[in-house]
Amino acid sequence: MEPISRPASAGADRAPDLAPYRGQRFVVKLGGEIMLHAAGLDALAADLAALTQAGLQVVVVHGGGPQADALAARLGHTVRKAGGRRITDDDALEVAKMVYGGSLNLEILGALKRHGARAAGLSGVDGNLITVTRRPPTRLRDPATGGEAWVDFGHVGDVAAVDMALLELLLAAGYVPVVASLAADAAGRLYNVNADTIAATIATHLGAARLFLLTNVPGILRDPADRASRLPVLTPAQIAILTADGTIADGMLPKVQNAVAVLQAGVPQVQILDGTTAESLLLRSFHHPGLGTLLLPDDEVLS
């Protein structure tokens, strides 16, 4: 995919520069941190609207971890996590439904509407988009003790089946689907699903040209305490080394694991970007591929 020149102005004036990407599909996953910054979310919505106005097909997938944690705290619920993933008990599932499927989905829809994009709010339940099975107890290493223990993640679902029909209809009609990270099993029981997993699944089944993962860091960092230690380009082989030595850990680990699976399934690029900046980096990344961390297949040579 060839980079194109930086557009001179904002908004719809940028759209003609995206002509080489017309008709291609992109999945943009938003972490909950992005939605804590009103100015950044508005700038991102403007970029998303510009992409769709230029004829690109875009699906947005969102989580909402910080917002779920905040509501849980207000309700007096204890938030538990293991291996960088949320444990979803009965209370946590109710919070997830209120936050992911409710308030945050609507906020994104409102931001897109302000910039002229036609958006439709969904979850994995709509149109049987994502069908899951309950995650079985999983044996995980405890970083504090170095030992291993079985973890029951509760109402957390793993993807079992996918039906892209509804997304295909919406994209063909010019809508921006905004998908919350909830899904159901074959019996209709609701589950919390990792948003990166849903984004990876959709990107793979839609044949996306690129999956964007917008988070609260500049990319994958060699030193998590140093934002200037960003690694601009990585391959799965390099990621395996960084995972083994502990450089990639905590919440970044499941994100990167999903990204590698996406590359191995045939999506040519995954890009991790900081989504908390006042000026959105999404549109800029089409003209400046060196932003964030770009993940490429092992045999890819970046020109």
Biggest CA-to-CA distance, the chain:
56
**CA gap 52, 12 in Å, rounded:** 10
pLDDT at 85: 79
Per-residue HEC secondary structure of 196-215 comes to HHHHHHHHHHHCCCEEEEEE
Could you tell me if 286 and 18 are in contact, meaning their C-beta atoms sit under 8 angstroms apart?
yes
- pLDDT-flagged residues of the chain (< 50): 1-16, 302-303
pLDDT at 16: 44
Write out the two tokens for 19. Answer: 């002509």
Could you tell me if 117 and 111 are in contact, meaning their C-beta atoms sit under 8 angstroms apart?
no
Cβ atoms within 10 A of the Cβ of 263, count? Answer: 22
Write out the two tokens for 92. Answer: 């946590």
Q: Which domains does the chain have, with CATH numbers?
A: 11-295 (3.40.1160.10)
For the chain, give the DSSP string.
Answer: ----PPPSSSGGGGGGGGGGGTT-EEEEEE-GGGGG-HHHHHHHHHHHHHHHHTT-EEEEEE--HHHHHHHHHHHTPPPEEETTEEEB-HHHHHHHHHIIIIIIHHHHHHHHHHTT--EEEEETTGGG-EEEEEPPPEEEE-TTTS-EEEE--BSBEEEEEE--HHHHHHHHTT-EEEEESEEE-TT--EEE--HHHHHHHHHHHHT-SEEEEEESSSS-BSSTT-GGGB--EE-HHHHHHHHHTTSS-TTHHHHHHHHHHHHHTT---EEEEE--SSS-SHHHHTT-TTSSEEE--TT----
pLDDT at 252: 87
pLDDT at 77: 94
Residue-wise pLDDT for 10-59, tens only, equals 444 444 489 999 999 999 999 898 999 889 999 999 999 999 999 999 99
Residue-wise pLDDT for 234-270, tens only, equals 999 999 999 999 899 887 888 899 899 999 999 999 9
